[in-house]
């Protein structure tokens, strides 16, 4: 995402993620999957006009190494690429449960880590 589009600076988003990662460390979490639209917006800057229950939209906050993965449908690739501030965009084909390509971070060994998720509001 470019600074011209973002409502806040990169430094602001970085500070928000650091606060979340500190809370994750205190709770013993390695990965936090966020699906609540206000929380996705807070962490990534991504805002959509609607969030159907079947949408794979969300972001995974990885504590170490510090990364933010953003999940969405392939048909939203252009919009998500412009508006979601993330280290990696993971896209799903419409109607399929598996992503177009698995997240690179999955091969980095975080499948065995402790994870948590936010509830959708």
CA 21 to CA 15: how far, in whole Å? Answer: 10
Does residue 39 register a pLDDT over 70?
yes
pLDDT digits (tens, 9 = 90+) for 14-36: 999 999 999 999 999 999 999 88
CA 60 to CA 12: how far, in whole Å? Answer: 18
Instruction: Give the residue-averaged pLDDT of 82-108.
Output: 73
Ranges 62-66, 90-94, 95-99, most confident? 62-66
pLDDT digits (tens, 9 = 90+) for 44-65: 999 877 777 667 789 999 999 9
Domain spans, the chain:
10-117
CA dihedral 61, 88, 5, 82 (to 10 degrees): -140
DSSP string of 15-67, one letter each residue: HHHHHHHHHHHHHT-SEEEE--HHHHHHHH----S---TT---EEEEETTTTE
- What's the length of the chain? 121
> Using 50, 70 and 90 to split pLDDT, how confident is the model at 117?
low
Fold of the domain spanning 10-117: Creatine Amidinohydrolase; Chain A, domain 1 (3.40.350)
The overall pTM is greater than 0.85: no
**Plot region of 54 (φ>0 → left; ψ -120 to 50 → alpha; else → beta):** alpha
CA 52 to CA 98: how far, in whole Å? Answer: 18
What's the mean pLDDT when you consider all of the chain? Answer: 81
Nearest partner of 54 among 33, 39, 71, 69, judged by Cα: 71
Instruction: Give the residue-averaged pLDDT of 90-105.
Output: 67
């Amino acid at each position: 995402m470019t600074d011209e589009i973002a409502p806040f600076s990169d430094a602001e988003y970085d500070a928000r993620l650091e606060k979340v990662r500190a809370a994750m460390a205190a709770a013993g979490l390695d990965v936090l999957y966020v699906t609540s639209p206000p929380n996705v917006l807070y962490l990534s800057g991504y805002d959509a006009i609607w969030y159907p229950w079947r949408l794979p939209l969300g972001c995974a906050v990885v504590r170490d190494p510090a990364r933010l993965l953003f999940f969405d449908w392939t048909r939203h690739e252009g919009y998500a690429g412009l508006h979601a501030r993330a280290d990696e965009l993971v896209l799903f084909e419409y109607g399929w449960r598996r992503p177009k390509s698995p997240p690179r971070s999955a091969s980095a060994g975080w499948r065995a880590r402790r994870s948590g998720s936010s509830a959708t509001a």
